[in-house]
């Protein structure tokens, strides 16, 4: 990933994207990884009794899958880092909000039963 544009990188009028194939090896690797994690999800669901830790594992696996989908399939790993940050930084805060409210939900539960 590069930080700066070179002059003439993008010409809005005569734009023809510079494309090159990176081959299908990485894509198939990502596929097997996603499939493996999903199978692991399935196994853990039955092997491990429900607990906060198990939920943590599932959410962690979800984030790993998200990393590979966004990075490899959506090609964000190979875009300029500025673009990747514009997209990822707000999502970090949103994820913080989601996990925060999962936790606060339990606190609401306690308050309701008081």
Write the interaction track for other proteins spanning residues 16-35; mark x where CB under 8 A is met and - where it is not.
xx-xxxxxx--xx-xx--xx
Say how far apart CA 105 and CA 16 lie, in whole Å: 50
**Using an 8 Å Cβ cutoff, are 60 and 52 in contact?**
no
Residue 12 in the binding site for other proteins (CB under 8 A): yes
Q: Which of 53, 77, 101, 114 binds other proteins (CB under 8 A)?
A: 101
Does residue 51 touch other proteins according to CB under 8 A? no
Min dist CB 113 to other proteins, Å, is 7
Residues 57-96 within binding reach of other proteins (CB under 8 A): 58-59, 61-62, 65-66, 69-70, 72-75, 79-80, 82-83, 86-87, 90-91, 94
Structure token pair of residue 37: 């994690």
Closest Cα to residue 58, out of 45, 77, 71? 45
- In b/e form, how buried is each residue of 57-78, taking b as 16+ CB within 10 angstroms? eeeeeeeebeebebebeeebee
Place of tokens 């875009």: 79
Contact 103, 24 (CB under 8 A): no
What residues make contact with other proteins under the rule CB under 8 A?
Answer: 5, 7-17, 19-24, 27-28, 30-31, 34-35, 38-39, 41-42, 45-46, 50, 55, 58-59, 61-62, 65-66, 69-70, 72-75, 79-80, 82-83, 86-87, 90-91, 94, 97-98, 101-106, 108-109, 112-113
């Amino acid at each position: 990933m590069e930080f700066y544009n070179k002059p003439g990188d993008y010409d809005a009028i005569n734009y023809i994207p510079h494309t090159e194939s990176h081959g299908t090896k990485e894509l198939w690797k990502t596929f097997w990884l996603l499939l493996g994690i999903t199978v692991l999800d399935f196994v853990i669901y039955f092997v491990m009794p429900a607990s906060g830790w198990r939920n943590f594992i599932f959410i962690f696996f979800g984030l790993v899958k998200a990393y590979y989908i966004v990075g490899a399939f959506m090609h964000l790993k190979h875009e300029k880092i500025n673009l990747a940050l514009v997209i990822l930084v707000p999502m970090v805060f949103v994820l913080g909000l989601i996990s925060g409210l999962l936790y606060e939900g339990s606190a609401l539960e306690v308050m309701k039963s008081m």
